[in-house]
Each structure stands twice: as structure tokens, then as C-alpha cells.
Amino acid sequence: MSRHTLNDGITPDPNITADSYDQHWQDLAPPPRLVGGYLRGEIPWEDFRIQYRQHLWTPDAYLEVVRLAELVCRHNATIMCEEQTPDYCHRGLIAERVRELVPDVDQLLQ
């Protein structure tokens, strides 16, 4: 889950509480300016996707992607977000990166 606020980026989301998740890996969150621009309609999805995928290659985010890939090789994991589906959401892009690192990850979890 990238943030725990409403779309204004400030107001705490009352639906997200500490018992909603086990771990919050902030380095996997889209940068605030990027997600804010997308939510305000200033950045189209394709630009968001490209910029966020670039973010996932930054050193801190890359280490977290590797950590997540290692985790899903041993356990099941859920990437959370306020979006209803991963189609236009950062969690789908994170899952893509994990699959790039571990192409057979889906088969490991069956």
C-alpha cells in the first residue's frame, strides 16, 4: 500500500488501520509527486507506468522488489492498494517486476 491517506494525500484514510496490513514497505510506494499527479489527472496512466517502473529500479526500491521476490518464493504475499483492481495500480506494476526477477513465481505458489 503506497499511502494511508485519502486522495488529497493528507487526510488519513479511516478504512486503513494498523491491523489492515502486516508490513508497510514505503520504498515500493510511488513517489508522492508521481501518484499525486496521476490522481489529479495531470499524468496519464502510461506516463505514470513508465515513471513508476523507473522508480522501481532506484536502489532502495530495487532492494525491496528483491526482498518481495524472495518472500513470494517462500510464502504467499498480498500487495495492497486502494484501487479495486491492479489494472491501473502500482501493485500490478510491482507484481510485473517480481515476475521479471522470478519468471516462474506463479508456479512456485501453486
Per the CB < 8 A criterion, the answer to whether 29 and 79 are in contact is: no
One pLDDT digit (tens) per residue for the chain, 110 residues: 555 667 676 677 777 666 766 677 888 989 989 988 998 899 999 999 999 999 999 999 999 999 998 888 887 777 777 777 778 889 899 989 988 888 876 665 44
97 vs 39: CA distance, rounded Å: 22
Report the C-alpha gap between 76 and 58 in whole angstroms: 25
Q: Would you state the pLDDT for residue 36?
A: 86
